[in-house]
Amino acid sequence: MILLFVLPIVPYNLSLQIPFVLKPGSPACGGQTPQELQACIDRYLYPPVNITGHASLSYSLFGVGIQPFNSSYRIVAGNNSAIFYFTGSKITSAEDYPFPSFELNPQGIVAIQNVSITRDELGLVTMSATVENVGTQPLDKVGVLFDFVPGNSYNQTLGGITWVDGQAGFFPSGDLLMPMSSRTFSVQPLNESVGSGQTFSYRLQVLALSGSTNIVYQKWFQGVWPATGITPDWVTAFIQEVNSNRTGPQLTEDQTLDAFAQTRFQTQVANYNTSNYGFQQDYAKSFPRSALQIGETTLWPGSDAPFEYVSFLQASAPGHWSVLTNPSFTHFGYYIGYGPTIIVSQPCPVTEFPGGQNIPALLASHGCQFHIEQTVWLVIEVGS
């Protein structure tokens, strides 16, 4: 009885079919109803491929033990092929390829390097990667697909199966990659289905022709979706706007102040109900026995462009703006972080928070409504 419980004896059967690849010469299907359209398509689809497997009785009863199917299966339909991905007895996803046969994840042919996901000062996200030909023969028809989860809005669901639709990046000047050479691919997603600061998984696929063999090389990565609007490039553009409005010397970046800004972010984000919390204590630890003068501004620019945010500070936060334009300060440092933020509902007469204030109490005293969100913080330290 125990042996029957753990041996793969329970049969499972499943049919796999690519639902959108029709046989050559098929007519253009139409119909008065969706059912008639689907009936026409079904007549000209390539026949399904039946797969069988066996699971242990413990898996059949409790979902624990020997599973019936492999993690993936590949089928062919005419000049197309597809991979179906499984978890247990369920198809989790599938994807199709425009060739009938290919080698999956070949070794010693390509390598993926320098993967990055960035957001520029205009707010556009760019996914990029460098592909190197580490083999001995040229790679032709090279392309890269970027797939990210959760919620890739380019995917589609057909027959209850999610078909992965990667976003492509191609060589700007051709699609041939010679041995020991590399090129960088990039793509800008049209839709953002991952929230700012959210951890997510993404996969890169290299598709190429090596000699007469099609290859598909897949590799998974973990990342954090770049925060909306705020990048080092954004800060550079913002400081340039600040400098154009200063009457004193131009602010230049200082690594010591960068480090202090990171310390100040960590202290403030852990005590976000109090404005500029713990400044004197952090200053004493970071600059013992120092007479260095430092001013601090903690900002939440949202998705504003640098010049727009400068206009906002000038009109609504003159105290913060005066710190940035104080001619006695000659250097700056900054840190971009992500954490809980008090979002004030408008209208509200309170537009900035002096240091040491209990922010919820201050807002309540003016009848202002607020809520908490996870957003980007920009801490800027200016010093002489």
Could you tell me the residue ranges of all domains in the chain? Answer: 2-97, 103-224, 232-383
Pick the CATH number of 232-383 from 3.40.50.620, 3.40.33.10, 3.90.228.20, 1.50.10.10: 3.40.33.10
What is the C-alpha radius of gyration for the chain, rounded to an integer number of angstroms?
29
Mention every residue, 6+ apart, whose C-beta is less than 8 A from residue 45: 17, 18, 19, 21, 22, 23, 77
Give the CA distances from residue 21 to residues 29, 81, 208, in Å, rounded to whole numbers and listed in that order: 13, 9, 22
Q: pTM of whole model > 0.85? A: no
Q: Is the dihedral of CA 106, 110, 115, 121 positive or negative?
A: negative
pLDDT in tens, the chain (384 residues): 566 577 888 999 999 999 989 999 888 877 668 888 888 888 899 999 999 999 999 898 888 999 999 999 999 999 999 999 999 999 989 999 999 999 999 999 999 999 988 876 556 788 899 999 999 999 999 988 888 755 555 678 888 888 888 777 766 556 799 999 999 988 887 666 777 667 788 889 999 999 999 999 999 988 877 766 678 888 999 999 999 999 989 999 999 999 999 999 999 999 999 999 999 999 999 999 888 899 999 998 877 778 888 999 999 999 999 999 999 999 999 999 888 899 898 899 998 888 888 999 999 999 999 999 888 899 999 998
Yes or no: say if 281 and 266 are a contact pair by the CB < 8 Å rule: no
Run of H or E residues at 342: strand 331-344
Phi, psi dihedral angles at 268 (to 5 degrees): -70, -40
Q: Which residues of 222-259 are buried (b: 16+ CB within 10 A; e: fewer)?
A: ebebbbbbbbeebbebbbebbbeeeeeeebeebeebee
Mind spelling out the 3-state secondary structure of 201-269? EEEEEEEEEECCEEEEEEEEEEEECCCCCCCHHHHHHHHHHHHHCCCCCCCEECHHHHHHHHHHHHHHH
The SS3 assignment for 278 reads coil
- As given in the structure block, the two tokens for residue 157 are 């669901």
- As given in the structure block, the two tokens for residue 85 are 């991905």
Yes or no: say if 191 and 86 are a contact pair by the CB < 8 Å rule: no
Q: Which residues of 295-306 are buried (b: 16+ CB within 10 A; e: fewer)?
A: bbbbbebeebbb
Q: Which fold has domain 103-224?
A: Immunoglobulin-like (2.60.40)
Q: CA angle, corner 278, sides to 272 and 281, nearest 5?
A: 160
